[in-house]
Structure 1
Amino acid sequence: MASIDGDNIARIPLGNTTTTRTNNAAMPAPEYTVKEEPLGTARHLRIVGIGAGASGINMVRTLRLKLRDNYEHVVYEKNTDVGGTWFENRYPGCRCDIPSHNYQFSWRPNREWSNFFSPAEEIGAYLCRICEDEGMRGDVIKTEHEVLGARWDEGQGRWSLAVVNLRTGERFSDYADFLVNASGILNNWKWPEIEGLQGFEGDLVHSARWPAEFDYKDKAVAVIGNGSSGVQIVPAIQPDVKKLVHIVRTPTWIIPPRVQIFNMGPAADVMSNVELDDEENFTPEQIVRFQSDPAFYRSFVKTIEKETNNSFPILLKDSPMQEFAAEHVRQYMTAILGEDERLCKALIPDYSLGCRRMTPAPLYLQTLTQPNVQVVTEGVRRVLPQGLELASGKIVEVDAIVCATGFDVSFCPRFPLVGRNGNLQDIWRTSVPQAYMSCAVPGLPNYFTFLGPNAPIGHGSVFTLAEHIATYIAGVIHKCRTEGIKAIAPSQAAVDDYNEHIRAFMPRTAWSSSCRSWFKGTGDDKDGPVTALHPGSRIHFFHMLENFRGEDFEYVYDVDESHDGAGVSSRNRFRFLGNGFSTKELNDDADPTWYLDDIALTTTSPDGAASPKARTRIKALL
């Protein structure tokens, strides 16, 4: 007996009739009536987004394209401006590690990136410019607003939200027919759990909250962490500090500069025509060519994208390609470290290449050989007012501590998210986070998320990921509003099957090897389940999202009120078919003969004659 609204109301088929049982009293179901609307009529919806980083911004545009009208969309962003990661992370050396021209929206190319790998300030400015040009601020994106909680109302078929205006302190209620969480996984930064940290009397800085006024020049600075942020900060500040103490808990693979890799691989022909200086800045002449030669620009972007996508086989555990790549990276690291035996032993991993995020870090390894740098591989026992006490008991005095220690990557929502099965925070704190294709959760109707559990966050540019996920989400929302679906959520059985596949697949990859990695939640369990990555390649993920698998979802259909107040149509999934007409023939802006366009566009040669393939298709149609 399937519960629909959580209040012991269920629909039970009895022969050829349907009854509605409420409080143990049976009554005949209302007579079915035709809905006096044309097929394709879209009901009005209110959609609330959380977060105005790349994913949230792209969602605004996608909804405008896919839904067009008859909907409201508001995005609550806790920061004072848009940009998400690229608003928050402004530490020295901060930049993306994906080539600039592939770290952008396909619908908004920027031919003026200054460097092969864009600095944070440029990416932030790019996102701000889009919001200005597309008119997303104000009515849609509300900065300095934070969602404090969300609760699913089964009777209303919508989310009840608690929101605070951080600028004024005012708290207010809102609602959403659909709730879209684009707050991101690398957003909720955290201090390391080290005794005495907050008692440090010097400068205490986190990489995700770098104070603009922090002056590290001529100071003794400890940098804790060698992840993506740490390996950028160390070479950026080393020339200016008096002493740099780098705390490394786990060795990490540092791959050669990507420019160097592209110059040696299949992209070499295109790269040979790209002008870069010694710091990987595009020359002014190169930027002009990107602007004036669209064919070359397109070839360059597609070639680099293809090479980025082709890296997945390296991650297959114990494969010849991985062994080959690991040996070359090991040789590269050894050479850059000057074959220093102590540093090589401390910094070159013995786990599989790719178990942790593979990080291109120009100058990082070279920096560790400099005389004012001390690499510490033992743990920190506690922080003292004047410095660090190491596990050995040795005291290291410093003027500043920089924590490049990352984020809470547990996937637990930052606010209570209460669905049919309770608060998702409680559920995911005590069990492995599981989602449907990374973007939907059982028991949370009309809720979608970007880059949830087992998304391809380590597979390349987040911008194109956001585009594919947004298209998928918008398609589901459009289906619901035009097919009389009040609530939709993936079934638990579908999510169980999907995650069974994940568990069976992951041992094939380097990600499942024994190492500390945020790919495995907190990273404390070296052999824990991989929760942050998709079970396949980047193209595999895109392909998976191409079609909506309706059979994996549970539906609750709209209930219209008849003239006497009785519910109508909740048992008939086809009531959306309406009065026999279609919006495609009644809408003045629609082309009622659209079905001829595909034939004309795809089957005619330049001289107007039908191609052989076209003639075959036409025969099939006739």
Structure 2
Amino acid sequence: MTQKSNNAQPSIIIIGTGFGGLGMAIQLKKAGFTNVMLLEKAGQLGGTWRDNTYPGAACDVQSHFYSYSFEPKHDWSRKFGLQHELLEYMEHCADKYGIREHIRFNSEVAEAAFDDTRNRWTLTLASGEKLEAQVVITATGQLNQPAWPDIKGMGSFEGTVFHSARWNHDYDLKGKRVAVIGTGASAIQFVPEIAGKVESLALFQRSAAWVLPKPDRAFRPWEQTLFKAIPAWDRLYRYLIYWKNESRGLAFTKFSGLLDIFARQAKREARKYVTDPDKLKHIIPDYQIGCKRILISNDWYPTINRSNLDLVTDPIEKIDAKGVQTRSGKHYPVDAIIFGTGFRASEFLSPIRVTGRGGITLNEAWNNGAAAFKGITVSGFPNLFMLYGPNTNLAHNSILYMLESQFQYVLSALDALQNHPGTAMDVRKDQWERYSSMMQKGLEGSVWSSGCSSWYLDENGKNTLNWPGFTFSYRLSTRNVDPTDYQFLEAAG
């Protein structure tokens, strides 16, 4: 792409500084776009890796593939990156590529509205300040709004309460009676870290998770040296990870019977470590493996078997001043309650109010569920590009691969805009609807529609999150913008 002069290029605002926002900003700078601003609601960059600082926080995608292809890191300490390392990597990228000077911290976006008369977006911050841009790119992620369950009496508890995504590091858990509500991806990591410190741990489980061994270990110094000395080996290693992960895509979408191999492995692991027959009975799921997120851990089952851990599957009735009471009437007195209940993943862009052409809000456009053309654009919302939008989440590979595909698509869209000065590009409604139908058709028969209740599904049971195919097919489809998919709107004013 040719270098853009500051006067001719569009002004661009990116919302969020996680992997999506940072990577997009870097690619824009590389392409010659300098009129770029990133808005970050917090005082530090990093997205989910800034927020999730709970004990044991780590990635479940291999380090070498959970990093930008254009910025390899050779000295990962482990095969699977730890939270602090991932955050340090992101800080490094921001510094190396000069992105910090474009970031406005403590700038939470409350509203974004499109002005048809001028083809401009007006963003209103929580402070009331207004900013304008020709192009808005959202990089708010899917794991940024903690999900709090609606439990009777939550406000009456007299002890300490926090969500795993907002970990209270000032509270010492040593010797405390602790309740953990939820057994999802976060709990799988932090429960083993705290179980040996607390006096007792009541673990409230609504449904069990399929948990497989994590093929993790520390990298040896000679391996790190080899990665650095021979870049081709680093690239080959990344390539091998990609195809190993990608090969699992068919099992999730078309041949779910293949996943039974992993189910048998998970059951063997559980039986190996969990000697309490009652715990064993409740820790193995009763739904098809893969229907919910498959988790990886080497210390989950040994932790479940601990004598100071009480696995509670009786539904919670209420929380009172002193603890948690279940439906059967049993009361669990505790000093602290930790919610490991995940995120409101299907509420894209929440809580920002987004208004497009003709005063239509994004919520109204999505009254039948979130949907975006190629997971990036929505009809009626010109010059608005979403990173990690509807149906671009993965269960088998690295989201960074999807994000880099989206970076290329957005750059191609900006090129198209350069060819139509002063216009705003809006994806055609028929193309948007056709693509959305294609997504849902592709998800039919996938393991995610096998009947369980998961965070992949919205409140109406529609899978608005997952990509129903191979990631290389997504990359091919996002390599370039087809201008015929869009209408280029002249300003009405």
Q: 1:306 aligns with which of 232, 238, 243?
A: 243
Compute the displacement of 1:504 (Å): 1.7
Alignment of 1:129-208 (within 5 A): 129-138=92-101, 140-164=102-126, 170-208=127-165
- Structure 1 CA distance, aligned partners of 2:450 and 2:195? 33
Compute the displacement of 1:553 (Å): 1.7
Superposition TM-score, scaled by structure 1 size = 0.75
- Structure 2 CA distance, aligned partners of 1:504 and 1:410? 19
> Does structure 1 residue 458 correspond to structure 2 residue 408?
no
Q: Against the structure 1 CA distance between its residues 442 and 529, is the aligned structure 2 distance closer, same or farther, given a 3 Å change threshold?
A: same
Deviations 1:373-432 (A, max 9, x none): 110112111111110011111100111101011112233431211112545353267421
Deviations 1:7-27 (A, max 9, x none): xxxxxxxxxxxxxxxxxxxxx
- The secondary structure found in structure 2 opposite 1:112 is coil
Q: 1:547 aligns with which of 463, 480, 492?
A: 480
Equivalence for 1:575: none
Alignment of 1:199-218 (within 5 A): 199-218=156-175
What amino acid does structure 2 have at the position aligned with 1:512?
S
Q: Which has the larger displacement, 342-351 or 435-444?
A: 342-351
- Structure 2 CA distance, aligned partners of 1:385 and 1:82? 37
- Structure 2 CA distance, aligned partners of 1:295 and 1:500? 41
- Structure 2 CA distance, aligned partners of 1:540 and 1:116? 27
- The secondary structure found in structure 2 opposite 1:496 is helix
Q: 2:61 aligns with which of 82, 98, 106?
A: 98
- Structure 2 CA distance, aligned partners of 1:506 and 1:451? 18
Using the aligned pairs only, state the percent identity.
29
- The secondary structure found in structure 2 opposite 1:97 is strand
- Structure 2 CA distance, aligned partners of 1:74 and 1:375? 48
Equivalence for 1:443: 380
Preserved contact between residue 346 and residue 465 of structure 2 (Cα < 8 Å): no
What amino acid does structure 1 have at the position aligned with 2:321?
P
Q: Which runs of 5+ in 2 are unaligned?
A: none
Q: 1:286 aligns with which of 223, 237, 244?
A: 223
Compute the displacement of 1:477 (Å): 1.2
Preserved contact between residue 212 and residue 262 of structure 2 (Cα < 8 Å): no
- Structure 1 CA distance, aligned partners of 2:281 and 2:430? 47
- Structure 1 CA distance, aligned partners of 2:372 and 2:229? 45
Q: Against the structure 1 CA distance between its residues 493 and 425, is the aligned structure 2 distance closer, same or farther, given a 3 Å change threshold?
A: closer
- Structure 2 CA distance, aligned partners of 1:52 and 1:326? 37
Q: Against the structure 1 CA distance between its residues 501 and 346, is the aligned structure 2 distance closer, same or farther, given a 3 Å change threshold?
A: same
> Does structure 1 residue 227 correspond to structure 2 residue 184?
yes
What amino acid does structure 2 have at the position aligned with 1:148?
A
What amino acid does structure 1 have at the position aligned with 2:436?
N
Q: 1:350 aligns with which of 280, 286, 291?
A: 286
- The secondary structure found in structure 2 opposite 1:129 is helix
Equivalence for 2:8: 43
- Structure 2 CA distance, aligned partners of 1:558 and 1:416? 23
Compute the displacement of 1:96 (Å): 0.5
Compute the displacement of 1:460 (Å): 2.1
Deviations 1:183-214 (A, max 9, x none): 11110113221111122111101111112212
> Does structure 1 residue 363 correspond to structure 2 residue 303?
no
Q: Which has the larger radius of gyration?
A: 1
Deviations 1:533-586 (A, max 9, x none): 012122222122123232222221479xxxxxxx9xxxxxxxxxxxxxxxxxxx
Preserved contact between residue 194 and residue 381 of structure 1 (Cα < 8 Å): yes
Preserved contact between residue 416 and residue 423 of structure 1 (Cα < 8 Å): no
Preserved contact between residue 316 and residue 325 of structure 2 (Cα < 8 Å): yes
Alignment of 1:8-87 (within 5 A): 43-66=8-31, 68-69=32-33, 72-87=35-50
Preserved contact between residue 138 and residue 385 of structure 2 (Cα < 8 Å): yes
- Structure 1 CA distance, aligned partners of 2:376 and 2:28? 16
Compute the displacement of 1:178 (Å): 0.5
- For these two proteins, the number of residue pairs brought into alignment is 488
Preserved contact between residue 487 and residue 556 of structure 1 (Cα < 8 Å): yes
> Does structure 1 residue 529 correspond to structure 2 residue 462?
yes
Preserved contact between residue 316 and residue 324 of structure 2 (Cα < 8 Å): yes
What root-mean-square deviation, in Å, do the aligned CA atoms of Structure 1 and Structure 2 show?
A: 2.1
Compute the displacement of 1:322 (Å): 2.6
Equivalence for 1:499: 436
Compute the displacement of 1:286 (Å): 2.6
Alignment of 1:481-496 (within 5 A): 481-484=418-421, 486-496=423-433
Preserved contact between residue 253 and residue 443 of structure 2 (Cα < 8 Å): no
Preserved contact between residue 218 and residue 241 of structure 1 (Cα < 8 Å): yes
Q: Which has the larger displacement, 353-362 or 289-298?
A: 289-298
Deviations 1:475-503 (A, max 9, x none): 10121023336111112211211121122
Compute the displacement of 1:435 (Å): 1.2
Q: Against the structure 1 CA distance between its residues 83 and 344, is the aligned structure 2 distance closer, same or farther, given a 3 Å change threshold?
A: same
Alignment of 1:237-252 (within 5 A): 237-252=194-209
Compute the displacement of 1:348 (Å): 1.5
- The secondary structure found in structure 1 opposite 2:35 is strand
Preserved contact between residue 316 and residue 322 of structure 1 (Cα < 8 Å): no
Compute the displacement of 1:366 (Å): 1.2
- Structure 2 CA distance, aligned partners of 1:323 and 1:218? 40
Q: Against the structure 1 CA distance between its residues 226 and 171, is the aligned structure 2 distance closer, same or farther, given a 3 Å change threshold?
A: same
What amino acid does structure 2 have at the position aligned with 1:388?
V
